C-alpha cells in the first residue's frame, strides 16, 4: 500500500514536471513573439515585400522588437504590412523612422528593419503609418550586374584587338614597339646625340678657358689705363690752365 502511494507521488511529480516544462517552453516561445507583452500597431505600404512573411521579425537598432502581423495587397502596385511592436520601444521609434526589408544574413529569412529618421520628430503612435523604402530587388541587382559584365566583355574584346594590332606592328604604338629598324634608328640617334653632347662639352670648356684668359688681360689693361688716367688727372689739377675749375 505504501509502495503504491509512493509510486503515485512519483507519477504525480513526473506528470507535473512534464507539463511545467511544456508550459515554460511555450511561454518563452510566445514571449519572443511578443505574445505576452503589451504591443502597439503600425503599418507601412511597400511596392514589393520581397518574400517577407507573416511572423517575420521586426528589427530596430539591431534588436528584435516585434513581428509582422499581417500582409495584404492594397492595389496592383502596393502591399500593406501590419507590424506589432513591443510597447517598451515605442518611445524610441519616431514618426520620421523609415521601414525597409532586409534579410537575416546572406541566405537568411526576410526581416523588416526600422531605421531612425533624419530629424527629431515625435514618437510613433498606435496605428500610425511608417515611411518605407523599396527593398533591394535581387533581379534588378542581377540585371545591373549583367550590364556590367556585358560592358566588361566588350572592353576586354577591344583590348584584345588593340593588343593584337600592337603585336602585329600596326599603328603608331605598334610600329614604335614592334619595328626593329625604328629601334635601331632610335639607338643611332641616341648615339649621335651622345657624341654631339660630348663635342659640345669640349667646345664649351675651350671657350671657358679662352674667355678666362681674355678677361684677365682685359682687366689688367683696364687697371693700367685707369692708373695712367689718374696720373694725368692729378697733373691736370696742378696745372695753371685749369685754375678756377
Assigned C-alpha cell, 141: 541587382
Task: Tell me whether residue 55 or residue 171 sits nearer to other proteins (CB atom).
Answer: 55
36, 30 contact by CB (below 8 A): yes
Closest of 111, 133, 123 to residue 59, by C-alpha: 111
Task: Tell me whether residue 28 or residue 186 sits nearer to other proteins (CB atom).
Answer: 28
Binding flag, residue 198, other proteins (CB under 8 A): no
Site string for other proteins, 37-76 (x = CB under 8 A): ------------------x--------x------------
- 18-26, 38-46, 198-206, 210-218 -> range binding other proteins (CB under 8 A): 18-26
Residues facing residue 39 across a β-bridge: 86
- State in Å, rounded, how far the first CA of the chain is from the last one: 164
Residue 31 phi, psi (nearest 5): -65, -40
Whole-angstrom Cα distance, residue 90 to residue 41?
10
Q: Pick one of 10, 47, 170, 201: the residue that binds other proteins (CB under 8 A).
A: 10
Binding flag, residue 36, other proteins (CB under 8 A): no
Whole-angstrom Cα distance, residue 233 to residue 225?
12
Closest of 45, 50, 58 to residue 115, by C-alpha: 58
User: What's the closest the beta carbon of residue 85 comes to other proteins, in angstroms?
Assistant: 17
Whole-angstrom Cα distance, residue 196 to residue 202?
10
Task: Tell me whether residue 31 or residue 88 sits nearer to other proteins (CB atom).
Answer: 31
Binding flag, residue 159, other proteins (CB under 8 A): no
User: What's the closest the beta carbon of residue 18 comes to other proteins, in angstroms?
Assistant: 4
Give the footprint of other proteins on this chain (CB under 8 A).
Answer: 4, 7-8, 10-11, 14-15, 17-19, 21-22, 25-26, 28-33, 55, 64
Amino acid at each position: 500500500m505504501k509502495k503504491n502511494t509512493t509510486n503515485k507521488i512519483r507519477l504525480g511529480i513526473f506528470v507535473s514536471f512534464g507539463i511545467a516544462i511544456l508550459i515554460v517552453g511555450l511561454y518563452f516561445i510566445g514571449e519572443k513573439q511578443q505574445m505576452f507583452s503589451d504591443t502597439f500597431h503600425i503599418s507601412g505600404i511597400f511596392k514589393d515585400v520581397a518574400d517577407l512573411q507573416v511572423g517575420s521579425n521586426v528589427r530596430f537598432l539591431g534588436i528584435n522588437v516585434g513581428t509582422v502581423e499581417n500582409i495584404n495587397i492594397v492595389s496592383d502596385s502596393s502591399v500593406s504590412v501590419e507590424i506589432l511592436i513591443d510597447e517598451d520601444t515605442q518611445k524610441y521609434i519616431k514618426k520620421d523612422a523609415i521601414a525597409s526589408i532586409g534579410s537575416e544574413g546572406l541566405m537568411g529569412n526576410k526581416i523588416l528593419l526600422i531605421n531612425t529618421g533624419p530629424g527629431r520628430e515625435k514618437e510613433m503612435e498606435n496605428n500610425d503609418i511608417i515611411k518605407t523604402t523599396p527593398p533591394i530587388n535581387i533581379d534588378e541587382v542581377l540585371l545591373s550586374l549583367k550590364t556590367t559584365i556585358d560592358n566588361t566583355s566588350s572592353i576586354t574584346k577591344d583590348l584584345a584587338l588593340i593588343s593584337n594590332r600592337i603585336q602585329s606592328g600596326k599603328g603608331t604604338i605598334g610600329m614604335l614597339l614592334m619595328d626593329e629598324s625604328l629601334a635601331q634608328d632610335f639607338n643611332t640617334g641616341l648615339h649621335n646625340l651622345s657624341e654631339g653632347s660630348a663635342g659640345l662639352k669640349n667646345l664649351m670648356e675651350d671657350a671657358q678657358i679662352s674667355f678666362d684668359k681674355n678677361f684677365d688681360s682685359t682687366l689688367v689693361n683696364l687697371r693700367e689705363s685707369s692708373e695712367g688716367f689718374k696720373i694725368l688727372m692729378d697733373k691736370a689739377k696742378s696745372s695753371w690752365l685749369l685754375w678756377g675749375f
